[in-house]
Structure formats: C-alpha cells, structure tokens
C-alpha cells in the first residue's frame, strides 16, 4: 500500500510514523513545501526571544532521520499543486528546480494546515511586515531583529502567537504595542478573566490598543506607520501580523471535496473526506466541539497529532474514531500562566445553555509552604445536569495541573459536583489537602445544595443603594480603607457575630471579601441567624482587576 501525505509537522509527520509502526511494508511519501518536515511550531516565538538558542532544537525530525529510522520518503521544498482523485494521483512541483511530476497513491492524507490570515488592507508589501508560521518566518524575524536592532514593534492580533511574540520581543528589548479588534486579548477567555492577562502585559510595558482595527500600513522613514480606524496611527520599526489563521484548503476545494467553516475540509470521525481514500487532519479540517457538539475550528497541535494517528490507524485497517476537540490550551504570559478548556461563558450563552459559574482564588500549594501564589479559577457548568462546560485558570505554578484535571473530568463525563471527590496528589510544595479542583467542587456542591447564593461582578452596578439592601464588606478595616466599592459598609468577618444588630434582618445582604472565602463564612453566619444573603463570587480582588482594566481600555 502506498500512502502520500501532503504536509508534515504535527498531523502529517505523526500519521507517517504511525503508518510505519503498523505496516512495515507500506510505501510512505511526504511532500512538504517548506524546508522543514517536522518542527516545533509552538516554540518559534521563543527562538526569536533567545529562550531557545540552538536552531536545531526547533527541528524535531529531518528527512534523513525519518528515512534512517522509519524509511519514510520525505521530500521538502516539494509543493503539491493539484489532487486528481479520479486518477488517484497528485501533481507536484520541485521548488528547487521547477520540475513537475505526478505521484500516484492508494491513500492520501491532506495535512496542509492553516495559513496566516492577511487583512485586505494597503501597504502589505513593506519589508518591515512579518508573519510567524514556519521556521523560515522565524529566521526572517530573528535576522531582522539581530541586524536592524529595531526599538519598537506593533503586533496586530492578541491570540497565542501575538502574545508569545510580543513577550519575546520585549525580552529582546523592544517597546511593543498590541492592536486587537475585540476589547480583550485571548479569545478562549471570558472578559473578566482576560483582565488578569491584560494586567500582566501592561506590567511588562506592553501597550494595549484594544477595540481597534488595523486599516493599512505606510512606510514612514525607516519604519512603518500602522493606520488604525478612528484612532491615531502607531509608528513602529517592525510589524508582526498575528490576527489568526485560516484553513489552507485550496487543493481540497479544487479537487471537489466538501468544505465547511471558513473553507475547512469536512471529515467524519475517521478523518475521511467526502472523496474515497482521501483523509484530512490538523488545522485544515472542521471538527466537532466535544462540549457543544457544534462545528468548530481548533488550531492546536494536540488535536492534529491525534487526528494523524487516527487517520493512520484507519488506513492500516483499524477503526479509530475522533471524539471531538475540547480546545484545551495554555500559554505563558511573562510571569503567569493562563489556561482554558471546554467553552467559555459567552459561548454557553450563545448556545442557549442554562449554566451557572463559580470563581475561586486558591493558593497553588499549601499556604504555609514558602512561595505560594494565588491563582484565579472560573468553572462553568450546566445547571440541570451539573455537566462541566469549561474552565479558565490564571496564575503561577500548578495552573497546568488543574486545567488538565478538569479537562480529563469533562472528557470522562464527571459532573461538576464530582470534582470534590477526586483523590488528587498532595504534598505541601505542590498542593493543599483540599486541591483547588476539589475546592471548585465544594463551592458548586454548596450552591446546588442551597448552602449559599451568589452574585457576580456584573451585578454590582445594579445593586440597590437606596437603603433597601445592606452591602457588606467583611475584610479588615485596613483592607477596606485601601479600596472598596461605593455603598458597602465594613464589618470584618471576625466581628460579625457581635455586630449583627447593625444589620437590618428585613433587608437582603450582599456580602463581599477579598477572594470569596471570608464572605462565604460571613454568609453562613448570616444565614444561620435568619438573614437573606448573597456571596460575591470571586471577591474584591476580581472586581478591582476588572474595573481597573475597563478604565484602562477606554483610556489607552
């Protein structure tokens, strides 16, 4: 059996290796139009920043290594320009000499990935404008920074690549501004959680220009003028376009394959396209979201690897199925880590799901062990079924562990309440006896069993301030004096039982503290004494971050 694979990297190279492990006699050919068949795409920004110093570390496999170990015929700088399904062949151009030839196949895998989205604006021909998708792109940016020593950069786009390249340019000493059309960075996060990311970027000197659209580029002296809609232009010595990617599927379209979202290739759960004996994997394909069941585009290396393996299994006579993508992702943002899995709140709203949410601010490990840092967590679940819909976590050490536990729980079909029952590893340097994931389950269990009612940051502005309700801040006097929400009175939680006479029992009480723990204790005290009360989810820490961020977005 002869399998031809169009494109390497995560999906194509994985499929090729899997086919060889399953079939020692198979003929396997990979055509890759770039000069590298298998490279660490996610590591490219860190080469620019000097974190990865050896360029060979970016290359996971070479044509020689794949031939020596697996007898895979890899031909880099070979571009497939046409698929001819009726002949079971592809037309190929050797980019080094321009020669054309045809190659037959028994099975074909399309792993063409995605290409950088380029806005339809003027000035794209400037040599100070860069994209970052391939190893060659990385070298081009690296050499420009090394030889031209730019002082300023504008990054258009606030997703994974945008944030990573911005951080690494800052590490190289550049002043960096990020321009983003939505009023937040990092689409996988809800607005309030993204505020923590915004704060970290600003803390390291990155200028955020949110809610603004790039309308074009013009040369200006030795640099570039970035034209913005309804705002003053930005001058920079270089510009990185990182506004996203689109499926690279022109070959599939020309061959008559059925296409879906944004021109992506429609496949079934065996990774088969609408044309027999042709499979597709990776960023080029439309997938099913594991939580919603809706069609989705998820451009991540993990799903691409799994899809490559599944396609290979089925080509070799197996019956492997792709169950959908959760979109679990994680990113380093200077000194913090931000991770998400499943869907965010706004997606749940659009999908018409009846959901609830909890916020918590646990320590990453036992509070008495030195070096502990607070993380911010948000967990979303379906009200009737308690199905976990998604989670977002931002913090320091341990974020990766918690997001992976919750992603596993979603995949396994555990309920949000069952998070409290998970038996997770504990030692003071790594966690607490009640792990943050357990804590999320405890809070949800309290809500479900009506031990506590919540209110949220977006409810605060509509709270009654006419005396018909009591707004109660249970932090210490010092904390309260350092900053509080207008209209809240201060009774520290440890004084509350002795001062209940100061709170009118006929009025609802809205309680807040710094993180949500003391206000929960206060709420239980009040409920136990016959009060109608509500606990602020996430605490003043969350509220202050959101309000500060909103103000800065409007003024930056």
User: What positions carry a catalytic annotation?
Assistant: 42
Q: What is the DSSP string of 305-363?
A: HHHHHHHHHHHTT-------B---EEEEETTEEEEEEE--HHHHHHTT--EEEEEE--B
Strands 152-156 and 238-241: parallel
Least Cα distance to 41 among 53, 59, 15 occurs for 59
| Whole-Å CA distances, 101 to 89, 90, 144, 181, 369 | 10, 8, 36, 44, 65
CA dihedral 535, 538, 540, 541 (to 10 degrees): 160
Dist CA 139 CA 285 (whole Å): 28
> Within its chain, how far is the Cα of 528 from the centroid?
42
> What whole-number distance in Å separates Cα of residue 50 and Cα of residue 199?
24
Work out the number of other CB atoms within 10 angstroms of the CB of residue 291: 26
How many helices (H) does the chain have, and how many strands (E)?
Answer: 14, 33
List b or e across 226-255, with b for residues whose CB sees 16 or more CB atoms inside 10 angstroms. bbbeeeebbebbbbbbbbbbbbbbebbeeb
Q: Is 441 left (phi over 0), alpha (psi -120 to 50) or beta?
A: alpha
At 315, list the tokens.
């080509």
d(CA 124, CA 130): 9
Give the Å distances, CA to CA, from 320 to 48, 259, 269, 311, 362.
Answer: 38, 22, 8, 8, 39
Cβ atoms of 60 and 39 within 8 Å: the answer is yes
CB of 190 closer than 8 Å to CB of 361: no
What lies within 8 Å, CB to CB, of 461 at 6+ separation is: none
């Amino acid at each position: 059996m002869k399998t031809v694979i169009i494109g390497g990297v995560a999906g194509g190279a994985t499929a090729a290796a899997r086919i060889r492990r399953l079939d020692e006699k198979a003929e396997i050919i990979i055509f890759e139009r770039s000069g590298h068949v298998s490279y660490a795409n996610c590591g490219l920004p860190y080469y620019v920043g000097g974190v990865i110093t050896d360029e060979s570390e970016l290359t996971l496999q070479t044509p020689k290594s794949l031939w020596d170990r697996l007898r895979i015929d890899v031909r880099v700088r070979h571009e497939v320009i046409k698929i001819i399904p009726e002949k079971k062949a592809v037309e190929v151009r050797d980019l080094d000499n321009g020669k054309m030839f045809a190659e037959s196949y028994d099975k074909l895998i399309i792993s063409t990935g995605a290409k950088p989205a380029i806005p339809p604006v003027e000035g794209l021909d400037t040599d100070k404008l860069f994209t970052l998708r391939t190893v060659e792109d990385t070298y081009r940016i690296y050499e420009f920074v090394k030889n031209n020593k730019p002082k300023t950069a504008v990054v258009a786009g606030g997703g994974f690549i945008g944030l990573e390249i911005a951080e690494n340019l800052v590490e190289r000493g550049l002043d960096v501004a990020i321009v983003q059309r939505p009023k937040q960075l990092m689409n996988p996060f809800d607005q309030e959680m993204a505020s923590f990311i915004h704060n970290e970027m600003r803390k390291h000197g990155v200028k955020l220009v949110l809610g603004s659209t790039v309308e074009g580029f013009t040369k200006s002296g030795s640099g570039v003028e970035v034209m913005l809609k309804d705002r003053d232009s930005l001058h920079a010595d270089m510009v990185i376009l990182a506004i996203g990617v689109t499926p690279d599927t022109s070959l599939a379209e020309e061959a008559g394959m059925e296409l879906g979202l944004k021109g992506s290739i429609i496949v079934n759960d065996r990774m088969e396209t609408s044309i027999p004996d042709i499979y597709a994997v990776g960023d080029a394909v439309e997938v099913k979201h594991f939580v919603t069941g809706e069609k989705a585009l998820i451009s991540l290396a993990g799903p691409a690897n799994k899809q490559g393996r599944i396609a290979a299994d089925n080509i070799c006579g197996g019956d492997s199925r792709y169950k959908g993508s959760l979109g679990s992702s994680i990113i380093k943002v200077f000194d913090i880590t931000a991770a998400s899995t499943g869907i965010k709140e706004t997606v749940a709203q659009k999908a018409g799901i009846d959901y609830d949410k909890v916020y918590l601010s646990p320590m990453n490990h036992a509070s008495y062990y030195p070096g502990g840092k607070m993380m911010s967590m948000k967990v979303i679940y379906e009200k009737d079924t308690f199905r976990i819909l998604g989670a977002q976590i931002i913090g320091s050490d341990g974020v990766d562990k918690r997001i992976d536990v919750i992603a596993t729980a979603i995949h396994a079909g555990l309920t949000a309440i069952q998070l409290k029952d998970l038996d997770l590893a504990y030692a003071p340097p790594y966690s607490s006896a009640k792990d943050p994931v357990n804590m999320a389950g405890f809070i949800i269990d309290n809500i479900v069993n009506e031990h506590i009612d919540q209110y949220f940051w977006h409810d605060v502005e509509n709270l009654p301030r006419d005396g018909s309700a009591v707004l109660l801040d249970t932090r210490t006097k010092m904390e309260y004096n350092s900053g509080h929400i207008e209209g809240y009175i201060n009774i520290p939680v440890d004084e509350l039982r002795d001062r209940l006479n100061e709170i009118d029992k006929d009025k609802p009480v809205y309680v807040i503290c710094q993180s949500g723990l003391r206000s929960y204790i206060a709420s239980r005290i009040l409920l136990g004494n016959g009060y109608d009360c509500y606990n602020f989810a996430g605490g003043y820490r969350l509220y202050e971050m959101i309000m500060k961020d909103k103000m800065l977005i409007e003024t930056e």
